[in-house]
């Protein structure tokens, strides 16, 4: 009996022991799982915190940068007042130095603001049709004087298969090329800078990729520096910053913009062959065809400016007038795009190189006067702020004419406008602005052919 009780007690104890062991191990397992969960939560929290920190930091930078402009305005402005007064040569030298330093600081502030916007994904990319060859031609015109002054060649290599129109953000594409070209000219002492553009092989999702290449015959970039060159505030050599100016943010901005657009920016360079920056961007071919494409072949005449077909923007809200004037201009030999209000016109001007604008004065949303003023500021987008503008108005009042001229338009025509009148004014303005004779190429050919005929 006693033995039986002892056996029972032993069994019970053993059972208890087993239960205890099981419980302990279960608790240990729980503990591990719990700790693992904790770690996972912690990691998620850390990541969330990090991205929140990054957002906060970038917002902070953006605010600070903006706030920096106010005192900077005081320094630059007051220095200019000081310089306009009577100063002895030494004081003038001091004032000049303050002015130069403040201007450098202003460039740095602008770059920082841009960088902060990109980092915090605060930039909205445009998606509008634009012409890559147009942008490259514009930049060529812009940089050629600087290159020539240094004795450098600035060569263009535009693949004929480059689509005439692609969809994307022309402003940002221009910013990237602008920065790369600026660097190339800055660091190259002899030889040539080459701008090449053309289609690359399609991407994995069969999206067409455009290749933009800027190569130079400069000193090149050492292999160990090539990875770091796209980091913010990295220049090959600290003394370069002092010698050449710049903020050390340019390439960082370019790389980030390229990536933001779904593309890439890479460098290949060796110490003795110079540097080649290759930017690959997925830019789909624009399907919008110009309404005049179909008629292009049977047109009799073509107006040319510096070897390129003269391209005009017609801004007019009334559809009947718009079509009438468009046909008139096309008949005169111009390539014409249309916008039905001022805001739309400003968007188109940024995406495409136009040689001139023909603008109705009274329009809804944004009228012709306001649009002309905006164009003239140079802040309304990426285009020549001085391009010729012809006002079209239904009013014959002198006051209206004065208003148009005062808004910065170059000429004033009243509706209904005559083709001959339009042609005369356009020819005069375009020839003066582009310092060229308006060559009616086909008429000239006709004339040449006719001269061959026996009389």
Question: Which residues in this chain contact another protein in the complex, by CB under 8 A?
Answer: 66, 69-81, 84, 102, 106, 342-343, 346, 365-366, 370-371, 373-374, 376-377, 379-381, 399-400, 402-403, 406-408
Using the structure block, give the residue that is written with the tokens 């060796």.
270
Residue 29 or 125: the one with the smaller Cβ distance to another protein is: 125
State how far the Cα of 159 lies from the Cα of 358, in Å rounded to an integer.
32
Collapsed DSSP state (helix, strand, coil) of residue 1: coil
Instruction: Report in angstroms how near the CB of residue 265 gets to another protein at its nearest.
Output: 24
Cβ distance to another protein smaller for residue 330 or 382: 382
Provide the minimum distance between the beta carbon of 263 and another protein in the complex, in angstroms, as a whole number.
23
Nearer to another protein, 35 or 406 (CB): 406
Contacts with 305 (C-beta within 8 Å, 6 or more apart), sequence order: 355, 430, 434, 436, 438
Closest distance to another protein from the beta carbon of 382 (Å):
9
Closest approach, Cβ 41 to another protein, in A, equals: 41
Q: How far is CA 246 from CA 107, 114, 420, in A?
A: 8, 14, 51
Tell me whether strands 308-309 and 303-305 are parallel, antiparallel or unpaired. Answer: antiparallel
In this complex, which beta carbon is closest to another protein, that of residue 128 or of residue 279? 128
**Which tokens belong to 55?**
């957002």
Q: Considering the complex, state which of residue 123 and residue 200 has its C-beta at the smaller distance from another protein.
A: 123
Report the C-alpha gap between 346 and 438 in whole angstroms: 26
Question: Residue 267 or 346: which CB sits closer to another protein?
Answer: 346
Shortest CB 377 distance to another protein, Å: 5
Q: Using DSSP, state whether 170 is helix, strand or coil.
A: helix
The three-point CA angle 314-319-325 to 5° equals 45
CB 72 to another protein: min, Å: 5
**Residue 396 Cβ vs another protein, minimum distance, rounded to whole Å:** 15
Q: Are 212 and 196 in contact (CB under 8 A)?
A: yes
Nearer to another protein, 81 or 149 (CB): 81
Residue 85: CB minimum distance to another protein, A:
10
Quickly count: other Cβ atoms within 10 Å of residue 47's Cβ. Answer: 10
Contacts of 363 (CB under 8 A, 6+ apart): 315, 316, 317, 340, 341, 342
Pick between residue 6 and residue 97 the one whose CB is nearest to another protein: 97
3-class secondary-structure state, position 38: helix
Separation CA 94–CA 104 (nearest Å): 16
Q: CB 324 → another protein: shortest distance, Å?
A: 27
Nearer to another protein, 132 or 345 (CB): 345
- Asked if 99 and 75 count as a contact pair (C-beta separation under 8 A), the reply is no
Report how far apart, in Å, the C-alpha atoms of 129 and of each of 238, 285, 286 are: 40, 9, 6
């Amino acid at each position: 009996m006693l033995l039986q009780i002892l056996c029972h007690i032993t069994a019970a104890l053993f059972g208890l022991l087993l239960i205890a062991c099981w419980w302990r191990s279960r608790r240990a397992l729980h503990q591990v799982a719990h700790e693992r969960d904790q770690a996972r939560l912690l990691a998620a929290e850390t990541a969330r915190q990090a991205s929140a920190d990054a957002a906060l930091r970038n917002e902070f930078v953006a605010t600070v940068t903006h706030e920096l402009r106010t005192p900077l305005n005081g320094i630059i402005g007051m220095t200019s007042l000081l310089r306009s007064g009577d100063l002895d040569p030494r004081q003038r030298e001091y004032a000049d130095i303050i002015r130069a330093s403040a201007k450098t600081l202003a460039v740095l502030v602008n770059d920082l603001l841009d960088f902060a916007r990109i980092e915090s994904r605060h930039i909205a990319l445009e998606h509008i049709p634009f012409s890559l060859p147009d942008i490259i031609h514009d930049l060529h015109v812009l940089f050629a004087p600087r290159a020539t002054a240094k004795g450098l060649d600035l060569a263009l290599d535009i693949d004929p298969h480059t689509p005439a129109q692609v969809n994307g953000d022309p402003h940002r594409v221009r910013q990237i090329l602008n920065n790369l070209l600026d660097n190339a000219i800055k660091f190259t002492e002899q030889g040539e800078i080459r701008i090449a553009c053309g289609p690359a092989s399609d991407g994995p999702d069969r999206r067409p990729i455009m290749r933009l290449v800027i190569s130079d015959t400069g000193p090149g970039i050492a292999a160990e520096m090539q990875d770091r060159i796209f980091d913010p505030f990295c220049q090959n050599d600290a003394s370069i910053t002092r010698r050449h100016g710049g903020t050390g943010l340019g390439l960082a901005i370019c790389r980030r913009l390229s990536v933001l657009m779904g593309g890439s920016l890479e460098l290949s360079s060796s110490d003795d062959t110079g540097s080649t920056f290759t930017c690959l961007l997925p830019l789909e071919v624009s399907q919008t065809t110009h309404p005049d494409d179909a008629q292009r072949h049977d047109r009799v005449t073509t107006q040319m400016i510096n070897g390129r077909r003269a391209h005009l923007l017609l801004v007019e809200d009334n559809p009947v007038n718009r079509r009438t004037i468009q046909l008139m201009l096309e008949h005169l030999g111009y390539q014409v795009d249309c916008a039905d209000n001022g805001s739309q016109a400003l968007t188109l001007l940024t995406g495409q190189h136009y040689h001139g604008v023909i603008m109705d004065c009274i329009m809804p949303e944004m009228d012709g006067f306001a649009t002309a003023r905006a164009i003239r500021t140079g802040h309304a987008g990426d285009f020549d702020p001085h391009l010729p503008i012809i006002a079209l108005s239904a009013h014959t009042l002198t006051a209206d004419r004065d208003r148009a001229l005062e808004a910065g338009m170059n000429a004033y025509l009243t509706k209904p406008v005559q083709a001959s009148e339009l042609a005369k004014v356009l020819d005069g303005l375009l020839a003066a602005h582009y310092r060229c004779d308006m060559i009616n190429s086909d008429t000239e050919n006709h004339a040449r052919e006719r001269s061959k005929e026996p009389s």
